[in-house]
Amino acid sequence: MEHFGVYSPIVSRKKQKRIWIHAVSVGELQSIAQLVQLLSKNRNIFLIISTTSTTGRQVAEKLYDAYAKIIYFPIDFWPFVRSAWKCIRPDLILSVDSELWPEHFQRARRAGVPVGIINGRLSKRSFHRYCRMPAIARWLWRYISFVFACDADSARRIGKFLSPPAKIIAVGNLKCGRQPHLPLEKFERASLLHSLGLPDFGPNGKATRILFGCSTWPDEEDLLLQALSKIRAMDPNWHLVLVPRHAERRGEIVALCRCAKFSFCLRSLGEPQAYCHDVAIVDTTGELSELIRIGTIAFLGKTLPPNAGAQSPLDAVAAKVPLVSGPSYDNFHEIMNSLHRDGAVEICPDADAVKATLLRLASDEVTSLGMSAGMMRYLLATGKTAQIIYKHVGNMLKSQ
């Protein structure tokens, strides 16, 4: 019923300002963690966080149930939005990643409530599309009061469509401002490995090492299986964890494992009966950020043709797992280039180069440690974005 604007009463203390944050995807929800923690420490602020999907709701409750009221976002149609606003009565609206909701934002303008975009981003492709229909673009952005842009280029592009007196400031990408994961304790690592049907020690008594496929796409799983075969010829302690971007592709990946004569374990089948499999297939949703912590080296999905654009590298970065990428990463161009400059990722021109690089890193601990250190430098440099946004939001609420 919440999708239709029907909510249980939302109770907050007197004089508390209500901030309504809307995040659609799991990645968007994870990206606001530091900002939510900062806002929740302010006793004068009450947080409402909305999402659209069942998976998003589960993630939001897991991450933020102690800090905020978690709800479903209403369908962006006037009777449902009107009903939601009567119940929620926000003092400030924050939308994550340039998600534009015309009826929701129009309701905010009628109520005199500022609307802000955090992680504001406009790619070259989207900018050119907007430029073909500038009147519609300006109509979509006309309700926005302020934008915290990911970078100067996005700020410049978005600024073309904002109506005065809207403000825009380039503060950085909240997705980059993740807290680095603490190293896993031995029992934690063993528990995660066992939950995937993998051993914590190899046949020679040394610790299991993991080649990790992050949000993989078609053809990339086959490449990683080939890489595993070559790596295992040097060191039998290696195993493979595959996290496909689309869990429904499990059948295709199972067929590849059988063809390569690797034993496998499907995550969706529940607790495995044995811890001796070669490959773990994580055909569930929302577990990448936790499971990547067992990785030794990782490959970034959707970066090899015919796939293009890349999935987010930031789960691997937060876990400080050395990362190898193909040549196509347009969706995260700025982030990947920054990581490359810091020596945190290796970007390869083709599939053969990816396999060669994985094989090299599997036996080159010095380089791997250097890449992990580069990731730590990157996290420290980008960790201030949430604090900047929090400061601006606090000043804005004081001025109301």
Residue-wise pLDDT for 54-79, tens only, equals: 888 999 999 999 999 999 999 999 99
- Architecture of the structural domain at 2-177+383-399: 3-Layer(aba) Sandwich (3.40)
pLDDT of residue 322: 97
Which residues lie closer than 8 Å to 176 by C-beta, 6 or more apart? 314, 335, 378, 379, 382, 385
Supply the pLDDT for residue 99.
82
The answer to whether 218 and 244 have CB atoms below 8 angstroms apart is no
Query: How do residues 238-253 score in pLDDT, each as one tens digit?
Result: 999 999 999 999 999 9
pLDDT at 382: 74
Q: Dihedral sign for Cα 337, 340, 344, 347, please.
A: positive
Instruction: Round to whole Å and give the CA distance between 307 and 219.
Output: 9
Is there a contact between 119 and 28 (Cβ–Cβ < 8 Å)?
yes
- Residue 47: strand pairing partners: 19
Q: In which element (H, E) is residue 281 found?
A: strand 279-281
Amino acid type, 223: L
Instruction: Enter the pTM of the model.
Output: 0.72
CA-CA-CA-CA torsion sign (43, 147, 310, 341): negative
- At residue 360, the pLDDT reads 97
pLDDT digits (tens, 9 = 90+) for 295-354: 999 999 999 999 989 998 989 998 999 999 999 998 888 789 889 998 999 999 999 999
pLDDT band at 355; cut points 50, 70, 90 = very high
The percent of residues in the chain predicted with pLDDT above 70, rounded, is: 99
**3-state DSSP call for residue 356?**
helix
Rounded CA-CA distance 352/318 in Å is 27
Mean pLDDT of all residues in 46-51: 96
pLDDT average, residue stretch 14-33: 89
**CATH class as words, domain 186-382:** alpha beta
At 191-211, the pLDDT tens digits run 999 999 999 998 888 999 999
Give 11's pLDDT tier (boundaries 50, 70, 90): confident
Provide the pLDDT for residue 178: 66
Domain ranges of the chain: 2-177+383-399, 186-382
Instruction: State the pLDDT confidence band at 264, using cuts at 50, 70 and 90.
Output: very high
pLDDT category of residue 18 using cuts at 50, 70 and 90: very high
Q: What is the mean pLDDT of the chain?
A: 92
Report the share of the chain in percent with pLDDT over 90. 68
